[in-house]
Amino acid sequence: MVSLPGISPSLQAIAQKVKNGQRISDEDCLVLFNEASLGFVGSLANQFKERLHGNKVFFNRNFHIEPTNVCVFSCNFCSYSRLYARREDGWELSIDQMLHMVKKYDGQPVTEVHIVGGVHPKMDLTFFADLLKAIKSHRPDLHIKAFTAVEYDYMFRKAKVSMEEGLRFLIEAGLNSIPGGGAEIFHPEIREKICADKVDGDGWLAIHEKAHELGLPSNATMLYGHIEKFEHRIDHMRRLRELQDRTKGFNTFIPLKFRNMDNDMSNVPESSHVEDMRMYAIARIYLDNFPHLKAYWPMLGRQNAQLSLAFGVDDIDGTIDDTTKIYSMAGSEEQSPTMSTAELVTLIQQVKRIPVERDTLYHEIKQYPDTMPDPALN
């Protein structure tokens, strides 16, 4: 039995489970949220992470395409979208415009394009299939990670096709994997208050489960730090853990910090950096069947993303190249999110971790040393 002076028996029992590689329960998770110090959960999460990946931290070379910020939905937490009825200050990109964005990276070693945006009624299943075909025709090797479950739910219902029919149609067009957005908080008590009009938690999970059955890997997210309680976070993570037990289709879990600028929840204070790190650490401990935990650096900011590497995080996303506005419009620290490969490598090396460039599916492309070269030796 782990013996930790000054630590309650319940926390010591949880520490023993983590040491033994045993799964913690929902009750254990609530104890961690309510009772555990930042140092305690950080130590357990780091232990768990190093058991999986040693000292490695992953990143990739990627860019985003956001086809539109015009949306038929009105989520209270969203600073990004513009309602379709009031779309004068929104943007709507054509396939040619988006293909031009892809062509900007010709000759560069990017491996992934991440495509998400608002739910626009004129951008339907056929439109997006044509977009995927155009990208694959121009650059067949580029991994396309595209569309949230919210976008899929709308485009499949509009096209009057089943989830399987719609996904197969897009796979044939070039879809390679699915991002984790739109999950927010699954619990209906909270979802009804923050995003009542879009696909519910069951629908989000069903789309990802069907994707996994068809061989499409995906990611998962959770929007935290607003009006939810710890119990709602645990309910959300439990449902993800249960689905992962069945399918093994999730690559990574990404906690997303609620930002309160220019949205209908601006009165809700944001979580502290301490609470952010606790969230990452507890997620790493609880989601024992998720191979990776990602801190999305444009949302947290560079320094906080770097700090998260001591709290169970093993991935900080990619170069981005200032191609996303979703978090900058909500008031994140990074107003022009772009980092070169060299900057990402340095950020990881500064905390004595091993930078590993990966592709979307976590195949290793290049491993860098864990320390920066001494300038005096150059």
Walking along the chain (378 residues) 10 residues at a time, the average pLDDT comes out as: 74 96 97 97 97 96 88 62 53 93 94 89 91 98 96 94 98 98 94 87 98 98 95 98 98 91 75 95 98 91 92 90 49 60 91 96 94 46
What pLDDT is recorded for position 120?
Answer: 76
| Structure tokens, 7 | 């630590």
What pLDDT is recorded for position 335?
Answer: 47
Report H helices in 104-223.
125-138, 149-159, 163-173, 188-194, 201-213
What pLDDT is recorded for position 7?
Answer: 86
How many CB atoms sit inside 10 A of residue 371's CB? 11
What pLDDT is recorded for position 300?
Answer: 85
What pLDDT is recorded for position 262?
Answer: 66
Q: pTM (2 decimals)?
A: 0.90
CA triplet 355, 357, 358: central angle to 5 degrees?
Answer: 130
What pLDDT is recorded for position 318?
Answer: 84
155, 326, 247, 214 alpha-carbon torsion, rounded to 10° = 40
Looking at the chain, the number of H-run helices and the number of E-run strands are 14, 12
What pLDDT is recorded for position 189?
Answer: 95
What pLDDT is recorded for position 330?
Answer: 43
What pLDDT is recorded for position 83?
Answer: 53
CATH of 57-377, one of 3.20.20.70, 3.40.1360.10, 3.40.50.300, 3.20.20.140: 3.20.20.70
- Determine contact, residues 225/276, Cβ cutoff 8 Å: yes
CA 115 to CA 139: how far, in whole Å?
A: 15
What pLDDT is recorded for position 183?
Answer: 94
Task: Please state the domain extents for the chain.
Answer: 9-48, 57-377
- Determine contact, residues 237/220, Cβ cutoff 8 Å: no
What pLDDT is recorded for position 323?
Answer: 46
- DSSP state, 25? P
Three-class SS of residue 3?
coil
What pLDDT is recorded for position 333?
Answer: 54
What pLDDT is recorded for position 148?
Answer: 94
